[in-house]
Chains A and B, each alone.
Chain A
Amino acid sequence: MTHISVTVDGTAYEDEVEPRLLLVHYLRDRLGLTGTPIGCDTSNCGTCTVELDGASVKSCTVLAVQADGCEVTTVQGLARDGEWTPLQRAFHERHALQCGYCTPGMIMAARDLLRENPHPGSDEVRKALEGNLCRCTGYQNIVRAVLAAAEEASASERHSAQEVTA
C-alpha cells in the first residue's frame, strides 16, 4: 500500500492504495465519484478523461499513485452552485449527447482544447477530440457544441472588455 494525498474537485483526500490501482478506479470505487465512466482498456475511448493538474488525461492510464500530490478535476467538479459551464450548457443546447456515456470525457477534452485554443475551427475541434469516441451522435453536434461554447466565451470576453472601456 502506498500513501497518497489527492485533491479531487476541490476536496482533499488522504488514502492508502495499492500501487496498481488505476486513477479511474480510485475515483469511482474509493471516492464514489462515478461521474467518470470507463469505456475501454486500451486508452482509446476517452470516456474516463479528467484533468490532472489542469491538463486532460485518461484516468484509466494513470495510476492513482501518480496523482499523489496533484489536483484532479472531474466532470462532477465543473458546475458551481448548480451553474453549468458554457461547455455543459452548449452540450445541452446543441444536443451533443444521446446516451451520455462519452459526455464527461468529451467535455473534459473540449475544455482542454479551449484552454489552449480559445477560437478553434471545426477541423481543429475534430482533431482535438480524436481520442474520445462516441457511438451515438456521429460527432456533428459535439463539434457544434464546442464551437458554440467557444463563441459564447469570446462574446462574453468582448462584453466584459466593453464594460471595462465604457
Chain B
Amino acid sequence: MIPPAFDYTRPTSLDEAVRTLADAGEEAKVLAGGQSLLPLLRLRLAFPELVVDVGRIPGLRGVREDGDMLAIGALTTHHDVVHDPLVRRHAGLLAQATETVADPAVRHRGTLGGSLAHADPAGDLPAVVLALDAELVAVGPGGRRTIPARDFFTDYLQTTLAPDELLVEVRVPKREGWGFRYEKFHRVAQSWAMVGVAALVRRDDGHIAEARIGLTNMGATPLRASASEEALAGAGDAEAVARAAREAAEGTRPSRDASASPEYRAHLARVLTKRAVLAATGTG
C-alpha cells in the first residue's frame, strides 16, 4: 500500500528539530529509522501533515560510558546495540532482547529511541528498559529533562513526551554481575511477542538478593512483575523461584486478540518468569 502525502523536513541539528516540532504541533511525526512509522503510513493508519526526519542529526548515535551509566544515543540502531561491546558488557539484557526484535534488515534501520518512543507494549524494548531502570533523556523547547523509564510509558502507544520533545538518549545503569534473560514467546520468529519477560537477577551467597522483571505485552504499557520481584528476594532454589513466578501476572491487564486470551497470557507470564529467572541465575 501507499503512504498518504506529507511534507518532509530533515533538520540538521537538535535545535532545529525541536523548533520544527514546536511549530508543527500535533500534526508532525518524528521519523527516525522508520521501521514503526512506515508500516503505519503504508496501511494508512497515520496521516501526519509533516514528517520530521531526525535520522541525520549528529551526536545522537552510539554508546558511551558515563560513570556508572551507559549513555546510548536514541538513534543507535538495533543492529549496533546488539553488537556494541559496552552494551554487551554492561547491559547484556538489552543486547539479548534487541537481537529478538523483528529481523536483521529491520534491525539495521530501527533505532532504540524510535522503539521506545513508539511505546508499543508488544515491543520488546520497553519492558527491558523498565527492568533495567533506565532513564530517558528528552530535549524540548524548555531544554533537557530526564525521565525514569517507569514514568515514561503512559498508555498504549503513549509516552510522556510532548509533541515538541525529542528522545535523545537512553541511560542505562551498568549492571555488572547481574544475571539476565529475555524470554520472548511468539508463534513464528518474526511475530510480535505474545508475552515477553525481561529478568535481571543479582545473587548473593547462593540466594537471589534482588530481581527486576519487566513484562512485555501484559497491558497497555510495559509492566514490572512487582509481586514476583518481592517474592523472589531470598529465593534459594528452583522451587522457590517457581513459587515466586506464580505471582508474575499480579496487577497486569493483558489484552485479548487473535493470538491469545488474557488467561493464557497470564499463564505465559508465570511460566516465562520462572524460566527467565532460572536462566538469569544460571540454573535454568
Contacts and interface: CB of A to CB of B under 8 A. Distances in A.
- Touching in the complex, A and B, CB below 8 A? yes
Given A20-B41, A22-B2, A63-B8, 11 more contacts: A20-B3, A22-B38, A42-B39, A43-B35, A49-B105, A56-B105, A57-B108, A58-B105, A60-B38, A60-B42, A130-B104
Interface in B12-42: 31, 34-35, 38-39, 41-42
Nearest to A21: B3
B103 A130 contact: yes
B8 A61 contact: no
Interface string B49-93: 001010100000000000000000000000100000000000000
B6 A19 contact: yes
The interface size bin for chain B is 20 to 34
Contacts of A61: 34-35, 38-39, 42, 106, 109
The interface size bin for chain A is 20 to 34
B43 A128 contact: no
Contacts of B6: 19-20
B190 interface: yes
Given A65-B10, A130-B103, A131-B190, A55 B42 contact: no
A50 B11 CA distance: 26
Given A43-B35, A66-B34, A57 B109 contact: yes
Given A63-B38, A130-B103, A19 B1 contact: no
B79 A55 contact: yes
Contact of B43 (A42, A65, A130): A42
Contacts of A130: 103-104, 189-190
Nearest to A108: B105
Contacts of B4: 20
B147 interface: no
A98 interface: no
Contacts of A18: 5
B8 A2 contact: yes
